[in-house]
Amino acid sequence: MHAALSRRSKGESDLEPGRVDLRGCWALAGAWVAALGGVQLGQLHQVFWAVGLWLVAGAGLLALLRPRHGRLGPAATPSFAAPALGCAAAALVFTQLFLSGAGTNPDSLEQAARAGTPVRIQLSFTEAPRASLQTDKFSEDARPHRQFTVAARALVVAGNGSWRISGVPVRLSYPESRAPDIPLAGGSTVEVLATVSNSEPGDRQRFWLNASADLLPLGKSTAPGVFQGMRERFVGASDALPQPARALLPGMVFGDRSGADEELSEAMKVAGLSHLSAVSGANCAMVLGFVISVGRLLGLGRLPTLGLGLAALLGFVFLVGYEPSVLRAAVMGTIAAVGLHASRGRNAMAALTLAVVVLLAIDPWLAGEPAFQLSVLATAGIVIIGRPMAARLNRWVPSIVSDGTAIALASQIACLPVLVALSPAFSLYSVPANLLVSPFISLITVAGTLAVVVLMVFPLAGMALVWLAGMPTMVVGLVGTWIAALPGALRPWPVGVAGVLLAWGIVLGTLLALGHVHPAAGSWQSRMGLAAQGVVTGLLLGLLLPVTALVPAPAVDWMVVSCDVGQGDGLLINAGDAGAVVVDTGKTAEDIAACLKHMRVTRVAALFITHRHADHDGGIAGVGDRRPVDKIYYSAADDPADPPHLTDSRGSLVTASQLGSGATGAAGPVVWKVLGPIPDGVFTGENDASLVVRFEIEADGLQRRISILATGDMEDEAMDQLIDKGLIGHADILKVSHHGAENGGVRTAPTVRPALALISVGADNTYGHPSDEALQALEENHVAVFRTDLRGTIIVGWDGKSLRVSSLGPTAERTSTRGPSKGGE
């Protein structure tokens, strides 16, 4: 078979790329494993591993130089050469860890972390401090304040009456009241008295510091203020553009996403286009490639052209901000552009391997960062999968189509294991979305970057460039929002190890089908290749309609779930061994039953029907399907002759009891108190009869309970009356009233001060839910908003330290509900 391949015709040889040289992957693997493990080791263990690995690598090199091996090269290199190369790369990483002092955890910091006592420390900021409005969400008197956080490297730490040198990375948090009068930025050095806590093993910042006293500046900032001014002027000029270009353009040029609201950001994620608003190697490669092309048009020599390109790239790095992620993008973008410029596509993998090994040696913490993993996997996917895939597609379609399709599909397949580990969902239309916008990206990047510079010298010409970049940016935004609204744009994926293994299976199957991995030799090889192609075809088809969506997810540690029941409400609260507490059921029994099944709910301790509208009680029969129901509670404007009821899995008829203000109860770790409606309160219809219930649930590692406020569809006047009477107070989680309608009230958010808000709403509903007023009220109070129309079923859990949120993606098959069959919205 190999002989046959070697006798291909010239035309086929041009079409089908040569095999990629993967020998350097041994070095990549060695460096990556050393980086992941080395950052968790102390300095003594780092020295041990560095010395041992250098000895092994040296022994391998000496063996290679022995005369009987002839020359160094692929024909004479023995089998032990590749592992020796991996050992050398790992030894390089361990050596750098030791020399940088990253494994040195001063005793004073360790003791301070255990005892909770403050320690005096001198720090060098490795990035600019980031400001945000913070609220102590778990305080009954939570007041927002401006807080700064910054990554830094410890210089010296006080302990036992002396200063001890340390290179350990830390993260400092301090309120605005403790900031010095002079501005701080990347490169600033300060001295501070701070309390210490340990980070998770392997985190870049080994300790978290909270300032206990004012920061004392020791050195001036090295941040180039001129570049900050350039960024600010460009953002100001972008304000003249219409939305969504105004919000997206600064992000697509230099990574500033501050102008994008939650809805636009979520739409770009669902469409698989969020990577466009983050600086990557592609941005750097486009800037470098543009400058090199201009140099060639001007007739400059090869060396001056390269120097001009590198100078432009350096300026771009300063413009964006020289943080580790940007430096990584610059290095990988440079290698990609130079490889393309030199037409050395077959050596692209070797260049990538070299870049990764160097970057991991300089900054080993990159190995554990998802952004770096995605960057490496995407580049490797284009090299290993994209090239042969493009060659095969080119047999049936033009190269302009085959190349773009192959690059987008190869990147998505290669990045899939990391993406599904971060969020168990799959962007169904990511590949066509990227194909649609790909013609505009180069124009946006080049014109936008030129505009940043030209605005400082010729404002009118700069504004013309802003509009030149802004119009295609608007197209990108419109494409993203349109695709995100398509049915099934975000498909569910299995959570945990099973989902990650499935993703890696797809990657391996793709490699088998493309001939990179040969599972057998001889006469079996062709059969295995055909079988592998069949397997991969099935797996890739599975991406379009994952059968995993039909398989119940494994049991997860959840606290609160907002079920995707379309235009309606359906809330689950975990009551431990007692089962679950359910608040409303949506309009159809199938939707709430599917959510209960997905969350493995086998018993319902209590079902609350907040009021008698079909989008809240229409699915009541689905709650009793296949599970017992202990109690049902409800509220209604008029006491109905036929109260809500259901027949559960035991065959028992369970009839609801009507609740009023002040009623209390409990189920396992969950306790509740009914706050409304109150007797003789404001009443404008059935919505104002909604139960307003405060639930509290225990969480491990917290001294008090997590609180949830469920508000049904109560409208603004009735809710304002509860607020005025002091019945509504702080809660950690808010179920937003009336699906975020304008008449749901805007006083609830500042009164409740929740950490996060859940909006249960149907996609493309005709009511305009959620309203701009409701979303603005939540945004102004710095509340994280999660919507079922954008995210599908939303799962809130507790990780021992804070609330964590995941989602399953919108249900593709559901069309938006037009309204309840009885009562009204």
Rounded to an integer, what is the distance from CA 327 to the centroid of its chain? Answer: 20
**Which tops the pLDDT comparison, 338 or 356?**
356
Q: Which residues of 795-809 are buried (b: 16+ CB within 10 A; e: fewer)?
A: bbbbeeeebebbbbb
- Residue whose token pair is 């494993």: 33
Per-residue pLDDT at 480 exceeds 80: yes
Least confident segment among 125-139, 253-267, 630-644, 701-715: 125-139
pLDDT-derived band at 1 (thresholds 50, 70, 90) equals very low
Q: What's the confidence (pLDDT) of residue 75?
A: 47
Which amino acid, 797?
A: G
Residue 23: predicted pLDDT = 65
In what helix (H) or strand (E) does residue 413 lie, and over which residues does it extend?
helix 399-422
What is the per-residue pLDDT for 108? 67
Q: How confident is the model at residue 569 (pLDDT cuts 50, 70, 90)?
A: very high
Output the pLDDT for position 628. 92
CA 731 to centroid of chain Cα atoms: 26
Q: Provide the pLDDT for residue 520.
A: 45
Instruction: Of 435, 428, 433, give the one whose Cα is nearest residue 545.
Output: 428
**What gap in Å lies between CA 316 and CA 333, rounded to an integer?**
12
Which residue matches tokens 């079920």? 563
Whats the size of the chain, residue-wise?
825
What pLDDT band is residue 554 in, cutting at 50, 70 and 90? very low
User: Quick one: DSSP state of residue 205?
Assistant: S
CB-based burial of residue 34 (10 Å sphere; 0-12 exposed, 13-18 middle, 19+ buried)?
buried
- Percent of the chain whose predicted confidence (pLDDT) is above 90: 12
- Quick: pLDDT tens for 230-279: 777 888 888 888 888 888 888 888 777 766 666 777 778 777 777 777 66
Distance in angstroms (rounded) separating the CA atoms of residues 35 and 358: 11
pLDDT, mean of residues 476-495: 78
Q: Is the pLDDT of residue 530 over 60?
A: no
Rounded mean pLDDT, 493-501: 69
Residues 6+ apart with CB under 8 A from 601: 572, 579, 580, 627
- Map tokens 């109905």 to a residue: 640
Mean pLDDT of 745-755: 88
Q: What is the CA radius of gyration of the chain?
A: 30
Q: What is the mean pLDDT of the chain?
A: 75
* Predicted confidence band of residue 693 (pLDDT cuts 50, 70, 90): very high
One-letter amino acid identity for 439? Answer: P
- Per-residue pLDDT reduced to its tens digit, 574-623: 998 889 999 999 999 989 998 998 888 989 999 999 998 989 999 999 99
Q: Which residue has the tokens 């409800």?
A: 634
Cα–Cα distance for residue pair 219/229, rounded to 1 Å: 22
pLDDT at position 547 over 50: no
Q: Where are the alpha helices (DSSP H) in 133-212?
A: none
**Pairwise pLDDT comparison (715 vs 528), residue with the higher score:** 715
**Cα–Cα distance for residue pair 98/79, rounded to 1 Å:** 30
pLDDT score recorded for residue 324 = 54
Question: In the structure, how many helices (H) and strands (E) does the chain have?
Answer: 27, 27
Cα–Cα distance, 785 to 376 (Å, whole number): 32
Does the structure show a pLDDT above 80 at 661? Answer: yes
How far is the CA of 360 from the CAs of 57, 96, 607, in angstroms?
Answer: 18, 9, 53
Q: Is 242 strand, coil or helix?
A: coil
In whole angstroms, give the CA distance from residue 636 to residue 646.
17
* Arithmetic mean of pLDDT, 656-677: 90
Q: How confident is the model at residue 695 (pLDDT cuts 50, 70, 90)?
A: very high
Q: Taking residues 204-226, what's their average pLDDT?
A: 73
Q: What's the pLDDT score for residue 714?
A: 92
- Residue 307 has a pLDDT of 75
pLDDT given at position 74: 47
Q: 680 with 690: CB under 8 angstroms?
A: no
- Residue in this structure with the two tokens 């180069």, named with its chain if needed: 442
Q: Residue written as tokens 């235009």? A: 567
User: Which residues, other chains included, contact 772 with Cβ-Cβ below 8 Å and sequence gap of 6+?
Assistant: none
- Which has more pLDDT, 494 or 169? 169
The highest-confidence range among 133-147, 333-347, 487-501, 697-711, by mean pLDDT, is 697-711
Could you tell me where the DSSP H helices lie in 39-158? 43-65, 81-100, 107-115
Query: Looking at residue 328, what is its pLDDT?
Result: 63
Measured between alpha carbons, how far is residue 816 from residues 159, 224, 565, 799 in Å? 64, 51, 10, 34
Say if residue 168's pLDDT is above 90: no
Does the pLDDT at position 798 exceed 80?
no
E-strand ranges in 355-505 read: 425-427, 490-492
pLDDT band at 497 (very low <50, low <70, confident <90, very high): low
